[in-house]
Structure 1
């Protein structure tokens, strides 16, 4: 039974957005995510001690309840044992984010990436990119030393969110060159989403309608150059699409990006959004939930804790969002697509500014201390980073 008013209010919000979960599953998810935000930690000990204090319970009782929430059915007591299926929460989580998305433009930037916790886990995750942060929406965790292809894991991630985004939205999926594969390009296209994948400069490309193969490292041969055009990339495992190349001052090498968008519809600078997923790892680890200190060793259990961290991240980012005047000004004076981003620095967090994640943590604590209660303001993208092709 939840006695604390704020914890009960948060539980009602979580229950509304995950109607398929049982009452114990909702209470566990709400308690874990609430405790993470309040303690700045995903530690079972810290969260259970905090919840016990505010809910007037014994810490061992709370600890056992929170522990059972992430365990599989074999590790639970009772005849009606049930384990939480995290994959069934991916679609509701993304729907929740879209319900908060306050923008005139129907554009959604996503990124996929892999992060490690020592040699214990590798987390393959899909994030919504927003105001210098990333909100996890789907993931698969495998043993750090597990051998084999990541292809089935990425297809698993896409499968559970493929029908969530409305068909009239434009979705961009960014990935670093370490994840590039021809099947990944095709898988993203099959969702009616747009791949935006960085590739290495080793290899060859062929201009559309040409028979000559050229070296990729000649597309943008020096700093200050850029190019875009229709190509076939790579002699083996070829893909047909648009190649974008750009080499800015201060970078050791150019960005080479392949996409299915038309050359006139895409900008290489959009790839700078991908760095926001790296910022989200900092939020999940040192700035926020201290995930790097986890003592969990089973991937299934870790995936459930990631669900609580994703909910906690959504809450903090939403409360830390800046509802800018641009919502009226920028929509009134819409910039041309090719002038929306002027430099890579426009896509980075400004030095000296606090992230919306950390601002959210501060705002939540301050609101509760002042008795304002729980509120989620919405997500306010600063501008449309890419144009709608529909």
Structure 2
């Protein structure tokens, strides 16, 4: 692509200004890798070389330069990215920000742990960790430092809602979130013990008929009797799933809606893989190098999503999105816009802004699917266990 150097200039202005560089020589390979990733649409050091303008005569020289950068221990990917994501979030306008934690596996050998900001149907990476680990389940001690790292980049004064799946349900995590002052909605397993008094019973003990929701307030959970917390239990139709969610705040049907935002991180992983950058086609087999590669992915994701947001705000979406209503993610809209801008000679964004998770133009895949979507409907029962216990004791 002849105009890729224009993308390089835009990214260099952005990264050069908002990242903390110990050595400016580390900046240029990163910028070219992000530009090559956006232009080629794939994880390939060789493919990226095709878009680089440099004094190198041989493609192998550029490829080796990228490889050395990925293996360079002096490149601290998290300190570099913290400034960038912090800058993008500095214009955040909502009172609350939603974070999600999850993992994904690569080639059954590596595990990527990631915390994202939930943003308009997608997750924007904030921090991550890559380790050689064949399972998607990781211990609390492994990801605990990531929680503290997030604090440094969040806008001041915002309320934080933290979401995670049942693989992360751990009393130590609950305690950590309490210390940070974050609220949470975390799915738990059916064998979690619930204490409404002296006797503990597994959550599965509570029989739920189809489309029935039970809200238990002020209970203690696990053998550690952690709490007081609140539970939202439901048997969902038509998926026939049973949902068990623990919250630090009183639960309602809205609790299930809030927890459902967690699935946006899975869309982010999908963008990294088969729906976007084709991460699994990479031949890199080193946790440290993969972590720096995740920096390349994170910068590209943040840049493209921010660009897509700006395109929609300007009312120019339909220049790159063929749907009457928004049918593509902000990530994909931004990607199509950047590529078309390079061909058409349009100006490229040199700023980042994630202003609000509220979506003014929700994505609609098709009118028929939108018409078939049904709101959550449950027959609800709410029990305040602290009051119930007091009543039983007074009766006795």
Is the contact between residue 220 and residue 226 of structure 1 (CA under 8 Å) also seen in structure 2?
no
1:378 and 2:353 matched: yes
Distance 1:115 1:87 in 2: 19
Please name the residue that 2:392 is paired with: none
Number of the residue aligned with 1:339: none
1:194 aligns to what?
A: 183
Task: Please list the CA deviations of residues 92-114 of structure 1 after superposition, one character each: whole Å capped at 9, or x if unmatched.
Answer: 2430331353x3x2211111111
The separation in 2 between residues aligned to 1:24 and 1:305, in whole angstroms, is 17
Specify which of 285, 288, 303 is matched with residue 273 of structure 2.
285
1:322–1:356: 8 Å Cα contact kept in structure 2? no
1:61 positional shift? 3.0
TM, length-normalised to structure 2: 0.78
In the alignment, structure 1 segments of 5+ residues that lack a partner are 74-82, 326-350, 385-390
The C-alpha deviation readout for 1:38-92, integer Å capped at 9, x for no partner, is 111121111112224xx5753233222222211135xxxxxxxxx2112323532
Q: 2:338 aligns with which of 356, 360, 364?
A: 364
Q: Distance in 1 between the 2:154 and 2:103 partners?
A: 23
What is the number of equivalent residue pairs in this alignment?
343
Q: Deviations over 1:170-208 (max 9, x none)?
A: 11111111121111111122222222210012233123x
Quote the Cα distance in structure 2 between the aligned partners of 1:146 and 1:323.
39
Instruction: Tell which deviates more after alignment, 300-309 or 89-98.
Output: 89-98
Q: Larger C-alpha radius of gyration, 1 or 2?
A: 2
User: Where does residue 64 of structure 1 map in the other structure?
Assistant: 64
Q: Which moved more, 1:110-119 or 1:227-236?
A: 227-236
Structure 2 residue aligned with 1:261: 249
Give yes or no for contact 2:303–2:352 (8 Å, CA) kept in 1: no
Residue 147 (structure 2) aligned to one of 134, 141, 158: 158
Structure 1-normalised TM-score?
0.79
Q: Is the 8 A contact 1:17 1:96 kept in 2?
A: yes
**Contact 2:231–2:244 under 8 Å retained in 1:** yes
The separation in 2 between residues aligned to 1:107 and 1:42, in whole angstroms, is 34
How far does residue 211 in structure 1 lie from its aligned partner after superposition? 3.5
Structure 2: runs of 5+ lacking an equivalent: 314-324, 361-396
Q: What is the rounded CA distance, in whole Å, between the counterparts of 1:259 and 1:173 in structure 2?
A: 10
**Residue number in structure 1 paired with 2:318:** none
